[in-house]
Amino acid sequence: MGVIQLDRLEVRLGGRTVLNGLTGELRGHAVGLLGPNGAGKSTLINTLLGFHEPAGGSARVLGLDVHDDRMRIRQSVGYMPENDSFIGNMSGVRFVRYMAELAGLPAEEALERAHEALFYVGLGEVRYRKIKTYSLGMKQLIKLAQGLAHGPKLLILDEPTNGLDPTARQRMIQLIKDIRKHGGTHLLISSHLLRDIDETCDEVLILNKGRIAAISNIEEERRSHRNFIELEMAGNTECFVVKMRSLGCECACFAGGRVKLVMPDVLSARDLYVTAAEFGVQIRRIQQRRDSLEDIFLRAMEYEGGRVDHVSLPA
Amino acid sequence: MNPVNDTIRFENVSKFYGEVLGVNRVTLTMSPGITTLVGPNGSGKTTLMNLMTGLVQPSRGTISVLGLEPRNATEFFCNLGYCAQFDSFPRGLTGFQFVLDSLMLFGMSEEDAHHLTAEALERVQLDVDAAQRKIAGYSKGMRQKIRLAQAIAHHPRVLVLDEPLNGLDPMARAESLALFQELGRQGMHVVISSHILDEVDRIADRVVLITGGYLIAQGNIHEVRREVRDKPMQVLIRCDSPELLASKMFAVNHCVEARLHADGHGVFVRTADIDQFYRLLNDIAVEGLVRIEAVAPADDNTNAIYQYLIGSDGSAA
Amino acid sequence: MSVFLHEYRPYSGRTTPLWTRPLVLARYGLAEVWSSKITVGLFVLSLLPCVVELVMIYLADNPVARLLILRGNPVLTINETFFLNVLETQCWFALVIASWIAPRLVSFDLGDSALPILLSHPISRFGYLLGKFIALAVSLSYVTWIPCLVLFVYQSYASPQPWMLTHLPLGLGIFAGAVLWIALLSLTGLAVSSWVKWRVIATGAIFAVVFVPAGVGGIANAILRTKWGLLLNVPVVMTEIWQRLLGAPAFMNPRLELPNFAMAAVLALASLMCVAVLNARIRAREVVRG
């Protein structure tokens, strides 16, 4: 049974239909939620948390209906919102403890779990200070800690790396990967950074204009498309390309010594090297171009008529 | 063109806010093109950008932007565009009015301002209808776009952008990066501060690393990388028998370290002489005993430089 | 095993029943409110009149002490009017305390938009408000019906004649009057605090909400030459209600007497307005129209 099941879900806000007939099932361990601004990502998350009522259709989280079993869903869900959301006057420990008790933990257990969660995310002595004195990175971590403290089955993270510097971002991604590895908790991560989603998720749900543009299993996509190859070379690429074409490849040259080619099945990487040795060119990079998340995303946007003029990401 | 007037120059610049350090003794020269400003939060990036745009005066040292100084304010600010990180706008304005009003401050006629506003909105791909709505109702991405529009509308020669991709969806990010690339090609100075290092790597010519208020490195990414000598270049090779490849690599003495990839299908090799390494790899591949699937430089990017020079605690390594 | 790995582990222990969650809110709210020295100070201050009244009851029931201290001067009798004054005093102190406490309960949550996180837990908006309400009500009870009833019990103990049985309706009236006032005050306090952003202004606003309509009502009375403007006059309305609940003799000019149902309607209307404000302000997400 999927973690999230949508059945013709329709949500109206302020007179507008924001989510229009979403149908699909998400089974992945970590699901990425992508889409342009205004596609309905936040609305979907809010609906799953029971903040909005479906105008039509239904949605199920962990098998529970979003409208009828709201409280039970919130019991098993941890939420890390995108924007600042905390009680500045409280210390970190007190805040996490408060949230844990609200989630149903008895008082003593709440204190224990709060400290555990804070230790796990890496907030040390800082936890005894008031949250209003925290830096941005610490505020993100406290939000994560309160989401984890009650041991939810589904963790919803909205832009978890927002505003973090490179080191903190790596740490957050690592934390997310660790949580995912332990198997007990599913994740739903909404982000604009394709690379973050690529690293942490195994399935993506792409929304556009209130509809589902694509549901895609990244793992499966990665295993296909073995014959598209991208090269970065130094030296006389011209001759190299001519020779490869004569061997049956389709080649395209770009600036900076980059070459993209499609190899017929009979050839392998070794043949590239043989040709390179022949012409004395250096191959600095070989990359098998599989359908990366960017391609999946752009394809999804095109199908929905998102943009006619194809945006080519810098090669 | 006089070379002096083509650069942004910092000479021994320090900025203190009372006792608190902003930046200390920064000497920097930036040529046209795209420069990335990289560093942890609180490292002095915003201070540097404020100094560059004349919003803040240095405690010591001099700054000259294209030969101009903040003292000749009119000329100085005409050539500068600043897209700040902070999300506040004057109340009650629509997007169009905001950009228009900013332009009118430069003293041009309303007609010209209208043209330029429309042009700027088109360049950042913000809908005309959206621009007629009040900014208070904008999404995060739209606010970002309108800030950007305001920064580029008057065709400045220097564009300073503080986290310009924050809140933008993947397509808008790609479009903005393309826009910055275009502006850089046109000879503008584009200074971008960003935490998403692999994105700016794609378009940047130069990188400036700063931490704790001190300048750590500046220059072309590959050159900077090469200068970090205590960390030899690392290349990841994916192949079917990584152990065999590693042993062959060790047979030559410029390979200093080989580490197997966690999934067992690749090896990270560190080498002191990258050119020789590639030649050697070519020979091994032709030999045919090892089937090579992919080759990629593992650390010739800003992310790696950041890790090596700034490290995980934010202080200089 | 000598190396201990502290990894994330799911929770499998017992969970508290759903209906107790508002009590968690109440508990934390009370802790927050009472951690402030000003709250304690105000509380002590508001109990001082009760001490004075205690002494007065002692003197009223104790002829010997009366002779010694008052030297034969007449002293008041302990009756409904006495308790009406006691209740009134305490209730106005309650207003002061409520205007200090209510903002502390609500604006800390709203200030840094903690509501999305709060409401993502198994608690509804109603449960959230219930918790805050309980915290306010408990705090206010300490200064209203509890001290009043203590005085009531003391009087029935100190009085030479059997007092309590004959004056039981008085005791019930005190309780009902205080509870009514607490409910009204709590609702108003929470509504105003959720509406106004800054705590200090919220404190002033609560006072304003109680007293300003009185002025408006007075103006309406003078202009329209009617008595219905008095309905907006909270002090007058409340005193009337308490007077009727306690069975004390009427003090108002009979011409200006207000019927029960009118007063009840006004109070109900005020409560509904507060509920409407709370409904609009206590939300997990703003809905932007258009």
Query: Between residues A80 and A181, which one has the greater pLDDT?
Result: A80
Q: Mean pLDDT lowest for which of A34-43, B19-28, B305-314? A: B305-314
Task: Pick B174's closest partner by Cβ from A168, A268, A313.
Answer: A313
Residue C7 within a domain: no
B134: left (phi over 0), alpha (psi -120 to 50) or beta: beta
Closest chain A residue to C18 measured between Cα atoms? A104
Is the CB of A119 less than 8 angstroms away from the CB of C15? Answer: no
- At A224 the pLDDT is 61
Report the distance separating Cα A265 and Cα A248, nearest Å.
10
Q: Quick one: pLDDT at residue A311? A: 41
- Closest alpha carbon within chain B to A196: B196
Going edge to edge, which strands form the sheet with B233-239? A250-254, A258-262, A228-234, A282-288, B292-297, B233-239, B266-271, B255-260
The per-residue pLDDT for C59 is 80
In a domain, C15, yes or no: no
Cβ count near A91 (within 10 Å): 16
Shortest CA distance to C235 belongs to which of C274, C254, C209? Answer: C209
Pairing of strands B158-162, B80-83: parallel
pLDDT tens-digit readout, A275-299:
888 888 888 888 876 667 877 887 7
Are the Cβ atoms of B292 and A294 closer than 8 angstroms? no
Of A172, A99, A112, nearest in space to A141 by CA: A172
- Check residue B4 and give its pLDDT: 52
Pairing state between β A154-158 and A77-80: parallel
Q: What is the dihedral of CA C90, C91, C95, C96, to 10 degrees?
A: -10
Instruction: Assess C36–A contact: CB distance below 8 Å, yes or no.
Output: no
Rounded Cα distance between A127 and A96, Å, is: 10
Which chain B residues have a beta carbon less than 8 Å from that of A286?
292-296
Averaged pLDDT score across all residues of chain B: 86
d(CA B238, CA C54): 90
> Of A26, A7, A13, A18, nearest to A66 (Cα)?
A7
Closest-CA residue to B107 (of B139, B75, B63): B75
A106-120, B130-144, C32-46, C124-138: the lowest-pLDDT one: B130-144
The answer to whether residue A86 neighbours chain C at the CB level (below 8 Å) is: yes
Q: Please tell me the predicted confidence (pLDDT) of residue A296.
A: 80
Contact (CB<8Å) C9/A151:
yes
Out of A192-196, A212-216, A300-304, B22-26, which region has the weakest mean confidence (pLDDT)? Answer: A300-304
Nearest to A165 among B166, B171, B195 (CB): B195
Please report residues of A whose CB lies closer than 8 A to that of B203: 314
Q: Which of C45, C131, C56 is nearest to C92 (CA)?
A: C45
Q: Quickly state the pLDDT bin for A309 (edges 50, 70, 90).
A: very low
**Residue C240 · residue C91 · CB < 8 Å:** no
In this complex, which chains have at least 3 CB pairs below 8 Å with chain C?
A: A
Interface mutation target, options C27, C113, C119, C120, chain A, most CBs of A under 10 Å: C120
Please give the residue of chain A at the shortest CA–CA distance from C119.
A51
* B29 interfaces chain A, CB cutoff of 8 Å: no
- Percent helix, strand, coil in chain A (nearest 5)? 40, 30, 35
Tell me, yes or no, if A69 comes closer than 8 A to chain C by beta carbon: no
Strands laid side by side in the B20-30 sheet: B20-30, B8-17, B60-65
CA atoms in the 13 A half-sphere facing the CB of B257? 11
Q: Which of B48, B55, B56 is nearest to B10 (CA)?
A: B48
* pLDDT of amino acid B153: 92
CB of B134 less than 8 A from some CB of A: no
Q: Judge if ipTM > 0.90.
A: no
Calpha distance B8→B220 (Å, rounded): 16
The DSSP annotation for A2-67 comes to -SEEEEEEEEEETTEEEEEEEEEEE--SEEEEE--TTSSHHHHHHHHTTSS--SEEEEEETTEETT
Tokens of A195: 């690379």
Predicted pLDDT at A245: 85
A116 in contact with C at a CB cutoff of 8 Å?
yes
Average pLDDT, chain A: 85
The alpha carbon of residue C98 is apart from the nearest alpha carbon of chain A, in Å, by 20
Closest approach of chain C CAs to the CA of A171, in angstroms? 15
**Residue A158 reports pLDDT greater than 90:** yes
Flag whether C192 is in a domain. yes
Burial degree of C253 (CB within 10 A; 0-12, 13-18, 19+): exposed
Please give the structure tokens belonging to residue B21.
């350090």
Residues 212-271 of A with CB under 8 A from C: none
Q: Could you tell me which chain A residue has the CA closest to the CA of B211? A: A165
Residue A134 touches partner C, C-beta closer than 8 Å: no
> For residue C288, is it within any domain?
no
CA closest to A72 among chain C residues: C122
Q: Amino acid identity of A243? A: K
- Number of Cβ pairs < 8 A linking chain A and chain B: 125
Whether residue A294 and residue B170 make contact (CB cut-off 8 A), yes or no, is yes
Is residue C22 a contact partner of residue C77, using CB atoms and an 8 Å limit? no
Beta carbons of C91 and C258 less than 8 angstroms apart: no
How do B20-30 and A258-262 pair as beta strands?
unpaired
CA–CA–CA angle C5, C10, C12 (5° rounding): 120
DSSP-based three-state secondary structure for A262: strand
Whether A252 has a pLDDT exceeding 90, the answer reads no
Structural tokens at position B105: 């401050």
Amino acid identity, position A168: A
Q: Does B166 touch chain A (CB under 8 A)?
A: yes
Contact (CB<8Å) A282/B196: no
State the smallest CA–CA distance between residue A38 and chain B in angstroms: 8
Parts of chain C with a pLDDT under 50: 287-290
Q: What is the DSSP letter of B308?
A: H
Q: What are phi and psi of B24, to 5 degrees?
A: -130, 120
User: Per the CB < 8 Å rule, is B169 touching A192?
Assistant: yes
Burial class (CB in 10 A: 0-12, 13-18, 19+), B79: middle
Could you give the CA distance from residue A163 to residue A140 in angstroms, rounded to a whole number?
9
Report the alpha-carbon distance of residue C1 to residue B38 in Å, rounded. 44
Average pLDDT over residues A211-234: 77
CB within 8 Å: C113 and A83: yes
Position C38 scores a pLDDT of 92
Predicted local confidence at residue A308, as pLDDT: 35
Phi-psi domain of C122 (left: phi exceeds 0; alpha: psi -120 through 50; beta: other): beta
Chain A residues closer than 8 Å to C118 by CB: 99, 102
**Domain total for chain C?**
1
CA distance B81 to A53: 45
Does residue A99 belong to the interface with chain C, where contact is any CB pair within 8 Å?
yes
What is the token pair recorded at A206?
A: 């792409």
Nearest residue on chain A to B291, judged by CA atoms? A270
On whether residue C236 sits in a domain, the answer given is yes
d(CA B110, CA C177): 67
Q: Residue C237 is part of which domain span?
A: 25-281
CA C70 to chain centre: 35
Instruction: Say which of B40, B166, B175 has its CB closest to residue A311.
Output: B175
pLDDT of residue B1: 44
The amino acid present at C159, given as its one-letter code, is S
Token couple for B261: 């990839």
Nearest-neighbour CA in chain A from B232: distance (Å): 16
Is the minimum CB–CB distance between A55 and chain C shorter than 8 Å? Answer: no
How much of chain B exceeds pLDDT 90, in percent? 27
Comparing CB atoms, the residue among C8, C11, C123 nearest residue A150 is: C11
Would an 8 Å CB–CB cutoff place B174 in contact with chain A?
yes
DSSP string, A192-241: S-HHHHHHH-SEEEEEETTEEEEEEEHHHHHHS--SEEEEEEES-HHHHH
| Long-range CB contacts (within 8 A, 24+) of C33-36 | C33/C101, C33/C104, C33/C105, C33/C135, C33/C139, C34/C139, C36/C104
Strand pairing of B20-30 and B33-38? unpaired
One-letter-per-residue 3-state SS of A113-124: HHHHHHHHHCCC
* Other chains touching A, judged by 3 or more CB pairs under 8 Å: B, C
Q: Residue A126 has what DSSP assignment?
A: G
- Lowest-pLDDT range, A123-127, A187-191, C232-236? C232-236
- Where is C279: in which H helix or E strand? helix C260-281
Nearest to C238 by CA among C49, C86, C94, C88: C88
pLDDT for residue A304: 54
